[in-house]
Structure 1
Protein backbone atom coordinates (compact mmCIF):
# COMPACT_ATOMS: atom_id res chain seq x y z
CA UNK A 1 0.00 0.00 0.00
CA UNK A 2 1.19 3.55 -0.63
CA UNK A 3 2.59 5.46 2.35
CA UNK A 4 1.46 8.92 3.47
CA UNK A 5 2.70 11.36 6.09
CA UNK A 6 0.16 13.40 8.05
CA UNK A 7 1.60 16.61 9.53
CA UNK A 8 -0.76 17.84 12.25
CA UNK A 9 -1.18 20.99 14.26
CA UNK A 10 -3.21 20.41 17.39
CA UNK A 11 -5.82 22.96 18.37
CA UNK A 12 -6.12 24.67 21.72
CA UNK A 13 -8.54 22.05 23.09
CA UNK A 14 -6.16 19.17 22.31
CA UNK A 15 -3.24 21.02 23.84
CA UNK A 16 -5.23 21.73 27.00
CA UNK A 17 -6.29 18.09 27.37
CA UNK A 18 -3.04 16.24 26.63
CA UNK A 19 -3.95 13.62 29.23
CA UNK A 20 -6.38 12.23 26.62
CA UNK A 21 -3.54 11.58 24.14
CA UNK A 22 -3.58 7.76 24.52
CA UNK A 23 -7.31 7.67 23.74
CA UNK A 24 -6.84 10.01 20.76
CA UNK A 25 -4.05 7.83 19.34
CA UNK A 26 -6.27 4.77 19.58
CA UNK A 27 -9.12 6.65 17.91
CA UNK A 28 -6.70 7.71 15.13
CA UNK A 29 -5.64 4.08 14.59
CA UNK A 30 -9.27 3.02 14.32
CA UNK A 31 -10.16 5.88 11.99
CA UNK A 32 -7.23 5.07 9.67
CA UNK A 33 -8.34 1.41 9.66
CA UNK A 34 -11.90 2.52 8.84
CA UNK A 35 -10.43 4.07 5.66
CA UNK A 36 -8.68 0.81 4.75
CA UNK A 37 -5.31 1.90 6.07
CA UNK A 38 -2.85 1.17 8.84
CA UNK A 39 -1.21 3.69 11.16
CA UNK A 40 2.47 2.73 11.12
CA UNK A 41 4.10 5.40 13.29
CA UNK A 42 2.96 8.29 15.44
CA UNK A 43 5.39 10.95 16.69
CA UNK A 44 4.93 13.99 18.88
CA UNK A 45 7.13 16.85 17.73
CA UNK A 46 7.74 20.48 18.51
CA UNK A 47 8.03 23.20 15.97
CA UNK A 48 5.44 23.99 13.32
CA UNK A 49 3.74 20.59 13.68
CA UNK A 50 2.74 18.87 16.90
CA UNK A 51 2.25 15.39 15.46
CA UNK A 52 3.71 13.43 12.55
CA UNK A 53 1.78 10.28 11.69
CA UNK A 54 2.89 7.78 9.05
CA UNK A 55 0.17 5.61 7.55
CA UNK A 56 -0.49 3.33 4.62
CA UNK A 57 -3.71 3.60 2.61
CA UNK A 58 -4.97 1.71 -0.42
CA UNK A 59 -4.97 4.86 -2.57
CA UNK A 60 -4.95 8.67 -2.64
CA UNK A 61 -8.70 8.84 -2.13
CA UNK A 62 -8.55 6.88 1.12
CA UNK A 63 -5.68 9.07 2.38
CA UNK A 64 -7.64 12.21 1.48
CA UNK A 65 -10.79 10.95 3.23
CA UNK A 66 -8.76 10.17 6.35
CA UNK A 67 -7.22 13.66 6.34
CA UNK A 68 -10.69 15.18 5.99
CA UNK A 69 -11.90 13.05 8.89
CA UNK A 70 -8.97 14.23 11.05
CA UNK A 71 -9.87 17.83 10.21
CA UNK A 72 -13.55 17.17 10.70
CA UNK A 73 -12.89 16.64 14.37
CA UNK A 74 -12.55 20.44 14.41
CA UNK A 75 -9.48 20.67 16.56
CA UNK A 76 -6.62 19.61 14.29
CA UNK A 77 -5.23 20.94 11.04
CA UNK A 78 -3.63 18.36 8.75
CA UNK A 79 -1.27 18.44 5.79
CA UNK A 80 -0.96 15.07 4.05
CA UNK A 81 2.00 14.12 1.87
CA UNK A 82 2.58 11.03 -0.23
CA UNK A 83 5.85 9.35 0.74
CA UNK A 84 8.17 7.09 -1.26
CA UNK A 85 10.78 4.65 -0.04
CA UNK A 86 14.17 4.96 -1.72
CA UNK A 87 13.41 1.95 -3.91
CA UNK A 88 9.99 3.32 -4.89
CA UNK A 89 11.51 6.72 -5.71
CA UNK A 90 14.18 5.17 -7.89
CA UNK A 91 11.73 2.88 -9.73
CA UNK A 92 8.84 5.30 -10.11
CA UNK A 93 10.65 8.58 -10.59
CA UNK A 94 14.38 8.41 -11.29
CA UNK A 95 14.30 5.56 -13.80
CA UNK A 96 11.47 7.22 -15.74
CA UNK A 97 13.08 10.67 -16.05
CA UNK A 98 15.39 9.84 -18.93
Structure 2
Protein backbone atom coordinates (compact mmCIF):
# COMPACT_ATOMS: atom_id res chain seq x y z
CA UNK A 1 0.00 0.00 0.00
CA UNK A 2 1.20 3.48 -0.86
CA UNK A 3 1.14 6.29 1.72
CA UNK A 4 -0.49 9.67 1.09
CA UNK A 5 -0.64 12.89 3.06
CA UNK A 6 -3.94 14.68 2.54
CA UNK A 7 -3.87 18.36 3.44
CA UNK A 8 -7.26 19.99 3.91
CA UNK A 9 -8.66 23.49 4.19
CA UNK A 10 -12.20 24.29 5.24
CA UNK A 11 -14.33 25.94 2.58
CA UNK A 12 -16.77 28.68 3.58
CA UNK A 13 -19.37 25.93 4.04
CA UNK A 14 -16.95 23.84 6.11
CA UNK A 15 -16.03 26.65 8.49
CA UNK A 16 -19.68 27.65 8.84
CA UNK A 17 -20.39 24.09 10.00
CA UNK A 18 -17.14 23.74 12.02
CA UNK A 19 -18.97 22.24 15.00
CA UNK A 20 -19.79 19.26 12.76
CA UNK A 21 -16.13 18.53 11.96
CA UNK A 22 -15.97 15.41 14.16
CA UNK A 23 -19.00 13.91 12.42
CA UNK A 24 -17.48 14.81 9.04
CA UNK A 25 -14.27 13.06 10.11
CA UNK A 26 -16.26 9.89 10.77
CA UNK A 27 -17.84 10.19 7.31
CA UNK A 28 -14.34 10.78 5.85
CA UNK A 29 -13.17 7.50 7.39
CA UNK A 30 -16.24 5.63 6.12
CA UNK A 31 -15.76 7.04 2.61
CA UNK A 32 -12.11 6.01 2.78
CA UNK A 33 -13.00 2.44 3.70
CA UNK A 34 -15.45 2.27 0.77
CA UNK A 35 -12.66 3.49 -1.55
CA UNK A 36 -10.11 0.90 -0.29
CA UNK A 37 -8.25 3.71 1.51
CA UNK A 38 -7.14 3.37 5.14
CA UNK A 39 -6.96 6.48 7.31
CA UNK A 40 -3.94 5.89 9.56
CA UNK A 41 -3.94 9.26 11.34
CA UNK A 42 -6.03 12.42 11.28
CA UNK A 43 -5.10 15.74 12.85
CA UNK A 44 -6.68 19.19 13.06
CA UNK A 45 -3.95 21.78 12.68
CA UNK A 46 -3.11 25.44 13.17
CA UNK A 47 -1.49 27.28 10.30
CA UNK A 48 -1.77 27.03 6.55
CA UNK A 49 -3.92 23.88 6.64
CA UNK A 50 -6.91 23.08 8.84
CA UNK A 51 -6.42 19.31 8.85
CA UNK A 52 -3.87 16.69 7.87
CA UNK A 53 -4.56 13.01 7.29
CA UNK A 54 -2.12 10.18 6.70
CA UNK A 55 -3.70 7.50 4.54
CA UNK A 56 -2.79 4.34 2.68
CA UNK A 57 -4.24 3.42 -0.69
CA UNK A 58 -3.50 0.70 -3.23
CA UNK A 59 -2.51 3.20 -5.94
CA UNK A 60 -2.47 6.84 -7.04
CA UNK A 61 -5.79 6.50 -8.87
CA UNK A 62 -7.61 5.28 -5.75
CA UNK A 63 -6.11 8.03 -3.60
CA UNK A 64 -6.99 10.70 -6.16
CA UNK A 65 -10.55 9.45 -6.63
CA UNK A 66 -11.00 9.46 -2.85
CA UNK A 67 -9.66 13.01 -2.47
CA UNK A 68 -11.89 14.25 -5.28
CA UNK A 69 -14.92 12.53 -3.74
CA UNK A 70 -14.26 14.16 -0.38
CA UNK A 71 -13.74 17.61 -1.91
CA UNK A 72 -16.92 17.26 -3.99
CA UNK A 73 -18.96 17.24 -0.76
CA UNK A 74 -18.09 20.92 -0.37
CA UNK A 75 -16.76 21.24 3.19
CA UNK A 76 -13.03 21.01 2.42
CA UNK A 77 -10.53 21.47 -0.37
CA UNK A 78 -7.75 18.90 -0.44
CA UNK A 79 -4.19 18.66 -1.61
CA UNK A 80 -2.87 15.10 -1.81
CA UNK A 81 0.82 14.25 -1.58
CA UNK A 82 2.40 10.86 -2.27
CA UNK A 83 4.73 10.05 0.63
CA UNK A 84 7.68 7.65 0.42
CA UNK A 85 9.02 5.58 3.31
CA UNK A 86 12.72 5.16 4.02
CA UNK A 87 12.72 1.79 2.24
CA UNK A 88 10.89 3.21 -0.79
CA UNK A 89 13.25 6.15 -0.99
CA UNK A 90 16.26 3.83 -0.74
CA UNK A 91 14.93 1.84 -3.73
CA UNK A 92 14.27 5.05 -5.67
CA UNK A 93 17.79 6.32 -5.02
CA UNK A 94 19.17 2.95 -6.07
CA UNK A 95 17.60 3.47 -9.51
CA UNK A 96 19.33 6.78 -10.11
CA UNK A 97 21.73 6.82 -13.06
TM-score normalised per structure 2: 0.92
2:26 corresponds in structure 1 to 26
Q: Does the 8 Å contact 2:42/2:52 carry over to 1?
A: yes
1:62 corresponds in structure 2 to 62
2:96 corresponds in structure 1 to 97
CA distance in 1 between counterparts of 2:80 and 2:63 reads: 8
1:2 corresponds in structure 2 to 2
Shift of 1:20: 1.3
Q: Is the partner of 1:48 in helix, strand or coil?
A: coil
1:87 corresponds in structure 2 to 87
Count of paired positions: 97
Shift of 1:18: 2.3
2:47 corresponds in structure 1 to 47
